[in-house]
Amino acid sequence: MKDPNAYIGVFDSGAGGLTVVKHIMEMMPNENILYFGDTAHLPYGSKTDKQIKEYATNDVAFLNGFPLKSLVIACNTADSVARSTLIKEFDLPIYGVIDPASKAAAQATVNGKIGIMATKATVRSDAYAQAIRRYRRDAEVYSLACPLLVPLVENRRYKKEDQVVTIILKEYLDQLTCHDIDTLVLGCTHYPLLMDAVKSLVPDLKIISSSYESAKALKASLERTRQLNEGSGSRTRFYVSDDADAFRENASVFLNYKLGDEVEQVAV
């Protein structure tokens, strides 16, 4: 059994994975967390599968240099494309975002029609449709690539009052709601920041956050394996592959507090 005081490693292509970190902090306040944002290669969603696997492997190799008890792929793109590669390469309990969100969506839908908003690579992988149908065989899954959303969020454009955000979201949502979906998965960890804007446009849909469901599943697993950190206090460190100052500024939007010296730029 892993040491409960060891770190939970979390990685993403940028700041989006901080939505997972925020939920981990809220649900498991005593956990020690190491976060790596591969900001030099943001976004992963537009990259080839080969590139994504290479970047993800390098990300985990870096984090694995620290004492880890588990690893969270806080990136839907990396989870959909590189998960099997990482499982073969590293002897770690690896948690993702796609399976927990798929399970929640399958349980939430009434009419069996589920929409997925995700990156190009995640949609190309068909990972959500496959995972959802493991939990509900008759589900109709409609996946849509939304390439403009990650750049918007990374540039702190996510509020429902922002007309540009509203126009872009409406264009994407119209392509999903025309299928009579009753459940929508935000299949990218950047997208929870758009939650209010999405809800304002489609208030009747059940909306599933892959970030929230991932943290929830991680907690359940750590409880089951008796690896929750029962100590007091926690340590959190953040590493990025490019421009620590820009990451600090973005991180405050995701975490609702300002980061300082706990952010470090590293070569990976």
Structural domains in the chain, CATH included, are: 7-96+213-265 (3.40.50.1860), 98-210 (3.40.50.1860)
CB atoms within 10 A of CB 171: 11
Out of 121-125, 148-152, 228-232, least confident range = 228-232
pLDDT at 209: 98
Helix spans in the chain (H): 18-27, 49-63, 76-89, 98-108, 120-125, 127-135, 149-154, 163-177, 195-201, 210-224, 244-255
Q: Summarize pLDDT for 1-30 with one digit per residue, the tens.
A: 678 899 999 999 999 999 999 999 999 999
The yes-or-no verdict on residue 49 having pLDDT over 80 is: yes
Q: What is the band of 45 on the pLDDT scale with cuts at 50, 70, 90? A: very high
Closest CA to 19 of 195, 151, 168: 195
Does 188 qualify as catalytic in the annotation?
yes
Contact 92, 56 (CB under 8 A): no
What percent of the chain is predicted at pLDDT more than 90?
91
| Of the candidates 123, 81, 103, the residue with the CA atom closest to the CA atom of residue 213 | 103
- The pLDDT of residue 143 is 98
**pLDDT for the residue numbered 233:** 72
What three-state secondary structure class fits 140? strand
Angle at 81 between CA 62 and CA 32, to 5 degrees: 35
User: Using an 8 Å Cβ cutoff, are 119 and 97 in contact?
Assistant: no
Residue range 32-39: average pLDDT?
97
pLDDT of residue 1: 64
- What pLDDT is attached to residue 4? 86
Active-site position among 75, 116, 118, 139: 75
List pLDDT tens digits, range 74-97.
999 999 999 999 999 999 999 999
Amino acid present at 82:
A
Give the distance between the most distant pair of CA atoms in the chain: 51
Q: Looking at residue 80, what is its pLDDT?
A: 97
Question: What does DSSP say about strands 7-12 and 33-37: parallel, antiparallel, or unpaired?
Answer: parallel
Using one digit for the tens of pLDDT, what is the confidence trace for 97-137?
A: 999 999 999 999 999 999 999 999 999 999 999 999 999 99
Residue 178 annotated as catalytic: no
What pLDDT, on the 0 to 100 scale, is given for residue 130? Answer: 98
Question: Is the per-residue pLDDT at 231 higher than 90?
Answer: no
- pLDDT 10s digits, 154-175: 889 999 999 999 999 999 999 9
- Helix orientation angle between 18-27 and 210-224, rounded to the nearest 10 degrees: 40
Tokens 């190009």 locate to 120
**Contact assessment for residue 4 and residue 70, using Cβ atoms and an 8 Å cutoff:** no
Q: Which of 188, 201, 205, 217 is catalytic?
A: 188
Beta-sheet pairing, 183-186 with 113-118: parallel
Helix (H, G, I), strand (E, B) or coil at 229: coil
